[in-house]
């Protein structure tokens, strides 16, 4: 009732002023009616004018954005303005809080690794996050309110959306590239739909790789097994001479060894994949390692090649000795196996400017065509399958080398030219390379290596 007193005062003031003006007019003109008319006009008109002015100011404020306070008048209009302003501010606060909650909710959906797309009953896009925009090649702003089926035209998607049976997810090629999406639709509200998309490219690729791997392993094992089964049948059914029997035994032994090598390589690979990354505190003498590789290569070559292994590096490398040995041995064994008789093979070490080290195995063998090079480290990938198998290859060697290098923070680099030869480089990071701490061992290793090298 705080507005009542000012209002009463204004009424009294108006009456008083009306009375005074009426009396004055009557005194000046001497006409009673004129004095009465002026008195009433002023008495009634004054509150009306004041009301009109205050009402107008409040209306103007309401018409605007209500950024400032409502007009602070006294009396009824002041109270009215204050009450309206409070209601407006309360509403603004509620809207502000709801908007914040909505923004937080949307940014949570935005952060989701899945695509989220909301459609109305007519399949118009109401909202979509960036992941969904990327999956379906949409523009999150420009394409709002557009019909999704006009923008994503893949027939499988359109049919799935319109069929209305969303029990099984739809597997679809990614709109942007060669990837694969898994799409799920859920209905909500009045005919609205939530479309969830998940990029399953990696999963599909892994599944395919697993299938290929199992198929490859089965194939690799089945071939020698079939040969062995054939020989066993021959031994059981045919009367063989001692020489023939001996020959069959040699061949059976070859096939058994082939399977053993395959199983050993498979185990090596699975161990590499399953074990933690080797620490860089176990130091291996590079010279000692090169000597062992050189001796094995010499035995494998049996004098058919010119082998040159750098005699003295005086270096140590950090990692798992058996893994590093297997990486270098695989490269040298490949060079020996693929380089024809009379060819040359060089194994050399050098320190690079950034402190990293590089071990290179070079041969002047047949070389490898450019298109095969990126695929050489895939499991069971062979350029020349028959040559690989003939020489006891499993198709897993370079895959093992690549894994070993990755685990040691290094890399395998391959350069090759058909008809000229190949260069395989193992690069180890600076943190895994240091000069040999034991000078005596270094000298001894150098001596041994030199002895081996001079034998080549």
Binding site for ligand ADP (CB under 6 A): 330, 334-335, 338, 363, 365-366, 368, 376, 381-384, 388, 393-399, 422
189 or 385, CB closer to ligand ADP? 385
132 or 368, CB closer to ligand ADP? 368
Nearest approach, Cβ of residue 339 and ligand ADP (Å): 7
Strand 170-173 with 125-128, pairing: unpaired
Nearest approach, Cβ of residue 219 and ligand ADP (Å): 14
Nearest approach, Cβ of residue 184 and ligand ADP (Å): 41
Nearest approach, Cβ of residue 107 and ligand ADP (Å): 48
152 or 300, CB closer to ligand ADP? 300
Nearest approach, Cβ of residue 186 and ligand ADP (Å): 47
Nearest approach, Cβ of residue 224 and ligand ADP (Å): 14
197 or 388, CB closer to ligand ADP? 388
78 or 397, CB closer to ligand ADP? 397
147 or 423, CB closer to ligand ADP? 423
């Amino acid at each position: 009732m705080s507005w009542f007193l000012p209002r009463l005062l204004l009424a009294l003031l108006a009456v008083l002023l009306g009375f005074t003006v009426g009396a004055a007019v009557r005194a000046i003109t001497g006409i009673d009616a004129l004095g009465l008319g002026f008195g009433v006009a002023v008495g009634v008109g004054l509150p009306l004018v004041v009301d009109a002015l205050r009402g107008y100011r409040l209306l103007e404020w309401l018409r605007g954005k209500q950024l400032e306070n409502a007009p602070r008048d006294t009396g009824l209009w002041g109270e009215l303005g204050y009450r309206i302003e409070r209601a407006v501010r309360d509403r603004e606060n509620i809207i502000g809080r709801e908007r914040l909650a909505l923004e937080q909710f949307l940014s949570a959906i935005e952060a989701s690794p899945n695509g989220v797309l909301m459609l109305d009953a007519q399949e118009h896009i109401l909202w979509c996050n960036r992941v969904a925009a990327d999956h379906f090649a949409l523009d999150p702003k420009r394409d709002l309110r557009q019909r999704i089926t006009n923008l994503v035209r893949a027939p499988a998607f359109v049919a799935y959306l319109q069929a209305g049976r969303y029990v099984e997810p739809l597997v679809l090629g990614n709109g942007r590239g060669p990837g694969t999406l898994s799409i799920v639709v859920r209905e909500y509200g009045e005919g609205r739909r939530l479309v969830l998309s998940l990029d399953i490219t990696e999963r599909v690729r892994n599944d395919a790789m697993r299938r290929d791997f199992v198929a490859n392993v089965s194939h690799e094992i089945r071939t020698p097994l079939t040969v062995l089964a054939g020989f066993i049948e021959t031994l059981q059914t045919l009367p063989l001479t001692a020489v023939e029997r001996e020959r069959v035994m040699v061949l059976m032994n070859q096939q058994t060894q082939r399977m053993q090598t395959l199983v050993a390589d498979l185990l090596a690979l699975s161990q590499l994949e399953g074990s933690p990354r080797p620490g860089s505190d176990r130091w291996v003498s590079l010279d000692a390692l090169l000597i062992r590789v050189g001796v094995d290569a010499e035995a494998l070559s049996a004098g058919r090649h010119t082998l040159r292994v750098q005699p003295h590096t005086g270096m140590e490398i950090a990692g798992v000795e058996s893994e590093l040995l297997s990486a270098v041995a695989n490269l040298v064994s490949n060079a020996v196996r693929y380089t024809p008789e009379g060819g040359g093979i060089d194994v050399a070490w050098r320190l690079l400017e950034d402190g990293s080290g590089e071990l290179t195995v070079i041969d002047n063998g047949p070389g490898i065509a450019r298109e095969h090079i990126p695929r050489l480290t895939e499991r069971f990938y062979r350029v020349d399958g028959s040559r690989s198998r003939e020489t006891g290859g499993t198709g897993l060697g370079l895959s093992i080398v690549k894994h070993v290098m990755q685990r040691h923070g290094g890399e395998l680099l391959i350069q090759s030219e058909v008809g000229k030869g190949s260069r395989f480089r193992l690069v180890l990071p600076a943190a895994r390379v240091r000069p040999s701490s034991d000078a005596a061992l270094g000298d001894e290793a150098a001596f041994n290596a030199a002895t081996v090298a001079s034998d080549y």
